[in-house]
Amino acid sequence: MRILFFGDIVGRAGRKAVLERVHELRERFDVDFVVANGENAAHGFGLTGRMCEELLAGGIDVVTLGNHSWDQREMIAYVDTQPRLVRPMNYPANTPGRGWGVFADRHGRKVLVVQAMGRLFMDPLDDPFTAVSVLLDRHVMGRDVAATVVDFHAEATSEKMAFGHYLDGRASLVAGTHSHVPTADAQVLPRGTAYITDVGMCGDYVSVIGMAVRPAVDRFITKLPNSRLEPAAGEGTACAVLVETDDVSGRARSVMPLRLGGALAQSGAA
């Protein structure tokens, strides 16, 4: 199975970068299943129902969220109506939406998609290590599902790396999101889990993690929230990873970072 995972989509530039390339990438790499983190798609803060539907209709199979899940208040009601939308599973038990789901790839094979949020420098949520481990005990790769994709939305690189090693051999991919900068450590861990500390954002990199430069810089200089943060509006880079799994075990055979368009050095495809 070939799985494509896009990092945090930021604003219009990020949506455009993904939607203009997803069909081409599906065809070029014979992709079976696509996941994208959409939590910054709505002007850099959260996601709307319309934008979620646009991403799903445009070639994404599952959209994940993160710490900006509720920035657009309409999502509180919408999240329960869209089964292909996944928010962090270690939110409190009564939080709307779902933190995981089992979905079908284009050949009907079962793919478990999970999202958890880290706790270092983030909200004090339930333990993501225990929450995901219990879930994976009930959905074993090669027995219950053909592949497992985990979006770990976290700030600290140490927590992300520890999480990847903790799940090594039990997930096809552990993809770090949230920090909006692609890391250079994509690898297949010893027991067969593809891992990257951060996939990187899909958005304009002539920016401050996706936001227009001047207002973001002014906030650091003045320490005043006078300037409203706006997404940078230049050409976006689509950052993703492509994972190929073993059809029997679900473990990763390879992982390849992709950086397409925009200001960053291109990687993985012309």
Q: Which residues are catalytic?
A: 68
Residues 6+ positions from 79 with CB-CB distance below 8 Å:
65, 69, 85, 87, 96, 97
Residue type, 169: G
Q: Report the greatest alpha carbon distance in the chain.
A: 56
Helix (H) or strand (E) holding 213: helix 213-222
Q: First-to-last CA distance in the chain? A: 22
Nearest of 200, 136, 198, 194 to residue 170 by alpha carbon: 136
Nearest of 38, 41, 33, 28 to residue 4 by alpha carbon: 33
8 Å CB contact between 204 and 216: no
Q: How far apart are CA 213 and CA 201, in angstroms?
A: 16
